[in-house]
């Protein structure tokens, strides 16, 4: 049997998250194919390392791909695959359960590790419970949290291109418009260093200052939901259960208490540094390095060190 990964695109290229999902799926040791909704990207996608075939969706449906149409395409293909995978983002989360229902297969969301063929690890209850799940279905549909997995190289491969027959477009929903949300600073999910601010920053000006420090350090800016709700940081910066999930090499949390919903988005970071004036703050339970003290003193010291401010 084979595995199929749904390719997502961003800024005219294959999303880094897709490269990570391919890396995850390869751990099963099965041949990997890629389903590409955007034919224009086929020449670059064929070079992704380790991919054997690129299946290119055809027809006008691809330009305004809705989950129902993608689900129909996956249903049409599922007989050749034991695993159909996508990143745990909006499109995959919407399309794969539908495809699983059509095909009568299992759906496993939010996979964080692969244990073997059909065997996965996923988080439950905002990551506070880790479940080991194995599928008894002939075909399993799974969405992968991208950040725990290393991406494959986007060059060096030589996949075969296969043009697919068009599937009927789902007529009852229509994509009217896409609006990219304002992106500030570096790409948060793929950053190696994240500086994240919470309610302890007290103002938007202070969050902007943290963002400036992040820029100087080559880091991305993150925020807690409380900081986002207070208007200190944009929605796109939110880390956590209802925000972005990150696993950088270093995550520095400034004035973040460490609510379970925040930890769900960052606790897989390789090194966690927490700065909080409250020694009992729950963030210290996941921190590798904890600093009990005033965050503004630490920001000033870091600014002096990197020459920012």
Contact residues for ligand FAD (CB under 6 A)? 198-200, 224-227, 238-243, 255-257, 259, 261-262, 265, 275-278, 281, 294-296
Is residue 140 annotated as involved in ligand binding? no
Q: Which residue is nearest to ligand FAD (CB)?
A: 240
82 or 257: whose CB is closer to ligand FAD?
Answer: 257
Least Cβ distance, residue 70 to ligand FAD (angstroms): 26
| Closest residue by Cα to residue 106 from 76, 69, 81 | 81
Q: How many residues does the structure list for the chain?
A: 309
CA neighbor of 295 nearest in space, from 231, 202, 204: 202
CA dihedral sign of residues 90, 95, 101, 104 = negative
Q: Minimum distance between the CB of residue 84 and ligand FAD, rounded to whole angstroms? A: 28
d(CA 155, CA 47): 5
Q: Which is nearer to ligand FAD, 113 or 230 (CB)?
A: 230
* Smallest gap from residue 127 Cβ to ligand FAD (A): 11
Task: Give the C-alpha separation, 204 to 37, whole Å.
Answer: 40
- What is the residue whose two structure tokens read 């948060």? 188
Radius of gyration of the chain (CA): 21
Please check if 90 is assigned to a binding site. Answer: no
> Taking the complex as a whole, how short is the minimal distance between the CB of residue 123 and ligand FAD, in angstroms?
14
236 is in an annotated binding site: no
240 is in an annotated binding site: yes
Return the number of other C-beta atoms located less than 10 Å from residue 306's C-beta.
12
173 has binding-site annotation: no
Q: Which residues are annotated as a binding site for FAD?
A: 199, 224-225, 238-242, 255-262, 276
Q: Which residues are annotated as a binding site?
A: 199, 224-225, 238-242, 255-262, 276
């Amino acid at each position: 049997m084979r595995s199929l990964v749904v390719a997502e695109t961003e800024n005219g290229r294959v999303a880094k998250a897709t490269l990570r999902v391919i890396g995850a799926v390869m751990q099963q040791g099965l041949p990997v194919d890629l389903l590409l909704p955007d034919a224009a990207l086929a020449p670059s996608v064929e070079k992704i390392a380790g991919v054997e075939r690129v299946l290119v969706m055809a027809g006008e449906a691809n330009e305004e791909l809705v989950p129902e149409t993608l689900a129909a395409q996956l249903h049409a293909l599922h007989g050749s695959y034991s695993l159909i995978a996508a990143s745990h983002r909006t499109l995959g989360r919407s399309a794969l359960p539908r495809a699983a229902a059509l095909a009568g297969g299992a759906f496993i969301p939010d996979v964080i590790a692969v244990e073997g063929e059909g065997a996965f690890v996923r988080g439950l209850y905002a990551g506070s419970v880790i479940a080991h799940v194995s599928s008894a279905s002939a075909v399993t549909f799974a969405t992968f949290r991208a950040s725990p997995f290393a991406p494959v190289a986007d060059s060096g491969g030589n996949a075969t291109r296969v043009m697919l027959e068009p599937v009927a477009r789902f007529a009852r929903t229509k994509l009217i418009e896409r609006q990219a949300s304002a992106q500030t600073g570096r790409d948060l999910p793929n950053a190696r260093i994240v500086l994240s601010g919470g309610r302890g920053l007290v103002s938007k000006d202070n969050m902007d200052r943290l963002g400036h420090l992040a820029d100087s350090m080559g880091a991305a800016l993150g925020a807690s939901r409380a900081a986002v709700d207070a208007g200190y940081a944009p929605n796109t910066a939110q880390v956590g259960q209802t925000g972005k999930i990150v696993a950088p090499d270093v995550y520095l949390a400034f004035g973040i208490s460490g609510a379970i919903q925040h930890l769900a988005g960052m606790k897989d970071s390789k090194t966690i540094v927490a700065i909080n004036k409250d020694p009992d703050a729950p963030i210290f339970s996941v921190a590798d390095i904890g600093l009990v003290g005033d965050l503004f003193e630490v920001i000033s010291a870091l600014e002096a060190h990197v020459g920012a401010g």
